[in-house]
Amino acid sequence: MQRLIVLMLITLVPRSSAFAVRGACAYLARPLSHTVGDIGARALRTCAPMGGRGRPPAGVAFGQGGVGVGVRGLHASGALHQGKVDEIEAQLKADDPTQTQLGGEERINLWSLSPPALEELLVSWGAKKFVAKQVHQWMYEKGATNIDDFTNVSKQMREMLKSKATLGTLSIATQQESKDGTIKRAYALPDGQLIESVLMPYNDGRRTACISSQAGCAMGCVFCATGQMGFARQLTASEIFEQVLRFHCELAQKGERLSNVVLMGMGEPLGNYNNVLTAVRRMNEEVGIGARHITISTVGLVPRIQRLSKEGLQVKLAVSLHAANDRERSEMMPVNVRFPLSELMQACRDYIRDTGRRITFEWALIAGKNDTPETAHELGALLQGMMCHVNLIPLNPTSGFDGKPTQAADVKTFVEVLAEYGVTATPRVRRGIDIDAGCGQLKSKVQKALGRGGAPL
């Protein structure tokens, strides 16, 4: 009854007076089911004093009869995205068994081996146990990328290693370097698939690697170049780990170190759960990157967020949100048809409770779409009271999406509105803007140049 009264008040009070009930709107938007909860969140747009810039939200009617919600948009999105929803379901059910190597490789990838497995292999080839330690030091501490660099290993053993083993399986198909120092690579995999990795240097000394977890992506987010190209296959744990190790080795040879890793490249990391976590643990244990300096992103696969909360890892979690109500989010992100905001927000609250760790919500600002003050109020109500931070991302335009980046003044207003709800937000610094640094963009360019569309090399 309280909720009904407040919703009636929202429709009756003038917009200039409605600020007083905005807190009540925020209260309503969270605990209700995703259909009814959408009423409170959408009504919030009209509650905020917008100085005449507010607009009636699509799907909500304000009149003498009270508040009405149109759900046809959500149903239409479900029908439109049903194929993608089926793909998402299939990926969750498959539960991706961990793999160390692709079949058909003639030589053993030393970078795919754990320290015990490396020792067992070399001992089986007649080496002493200390040789395994020497090889491990060359690969991970000294950053060697060539077996000939293992100078304190006997020449005979080096020749055996070169004949029977290799360091990695990725080969650089193309590389771009930005004037700000950002390096973007497209790697060719043994089966011809392409993936991308980015190294971003910062003035404060940080060196951050952005890496891929899948070849392509099944999630189908409309504004993402990778989402537009579809899903090819899961990356193995060693393919994920190798992207990090290569940057680590190159930086080590220059007297620098890789400080951070974000799994925000191609693919949905929690859609490749086992392989991603195996790789993350190796980054932490073998490369020495602190778990708190590793970020796993997700579009919102609720069962996998719940599973991650029980792992005992101190990694950071970033959730791609991009819209604060179900209709708009379902239009942009098919995953929302399967896991609507009510379920996602509950999973996020549970994650915070179970881990004691703050969640970052990723928000790609699209001019005129999700960058308005009204939308900021809606988002603020959705996140109010959560231990979270909003990362505002400048949109990287793609050929398959006609959205434009938000203007600086609108970004500033968006941040200020969120602050009214106690929600902190930071606009991300644009990196590699003069190259194809956005997820999937370089791969698309390479494939077009080869005239192969989405086919492997």
Query: Which tens digits make up the pLDDT trace of 401-449?
Result: 667 888 999 999 999 999 999 999 999 876 666 665 455 555 455 555 5
DSSP label at residue 430: P
CA angle 166, 440, 172 (to 5 degrees): 25
Q: Residue 286 catalytic?
A: no
* 58 touches 25 (CB < 8 A): no
29/326 Cα distance (integer angstroms):
12
Domain boundary assignment for the chain: 108-166, 169-435
pLDDT for 283 beyond 60: yes
Residue 338, Cβ neighbours under 10 Å: how many?
19
Q: Pick the catalytic residue: 210, 217, 388, 439?
A: 439
Q: Residue 177 catalytic?
A: no
Q: Pick the catalytic residue: 196, 286, 331, 374?
A: 196
pTM of the model: 0.79
pLDDT for 136 beyond 70: yes
In this predicted structure, what is the pLDDT of residue 450? 56
In this predicted structure, what is the pLDDT of residue 215? 95
pLDDT for 62 beyond 50: no
Joined tokens for residue 261: 């890793």
pLDDT for 21 beyond 80: no
| CATH number assigned to the domain with residue range 108-166, chosen from the 4 options 1.10.1060.10, 3.20.20.70, 3.40.1230.10, 1.10.150.530 | 1.10.150.530
180/227 Cα distance (integer angstroms):
27
Q: How far is CA 384 from CA 29, 39, 209, 292, 456, in A?
A: 10, 17, 31, 24, 45
| CATH number assigned to the domain with residue range 169-435, chosen from the 4 options 3.10.20.340, 1.10.10.10, 3.60.15.10, 3.20.20.70 | 3.20.20.70
Sign of dihedral through CA atoms 377, 382, 384, 390?
A: negative
pLDDT for 4 beyond 70: no
Contacts with 103 (C-beta within 8 Å, 6 or more apart), sequence order: none
